[in-house]
Amino acid sequence: MSFVGCVGIRSDNDGVYWIKTVKPGAYPAGSDWLRAPHIHFEVHERFERLITQTYFPGESLNARDRLLNAALRPDLLIAKPLPSADGSVHQLVNFDIVLARG
Angle at 46 between CA 40 and CA 52, to 5 degrees: 15
Say what the pTM is. Answer: 0.82
22-44 pLDDT, tens per residue?
888 999 998 999 999 999 988 88
**Domain containing residue 89: CATH number:** 2.60.130.10
- Residue 38 has a pLDDT of 94
- Residue 102 has a pLDDT of 55
Residue 25 · residue 37 · CB < 8 Å: yes
How many domains are there within the chain? Answer: 1
Query: pLDDT tier at 4 (50, 70, 90 boundaries)?
Result: low
Asked whether residue 3 is assigned to any structural domain, the reply reads no
Asked whether residue 40 is assigned to any structural domain, the reply reads yes
Asked whether residue 68 is assigned to any structural domain, the reply reads yes
Nearest to 38 by CA among 70, 5, 78: 78
- Evaluate if residue 12 carries a pLDDT over 60: yes
Average pLDDT over residues 91-99: 84
Asked whether residue 8 is assigned to any structural domain, the reply reads no
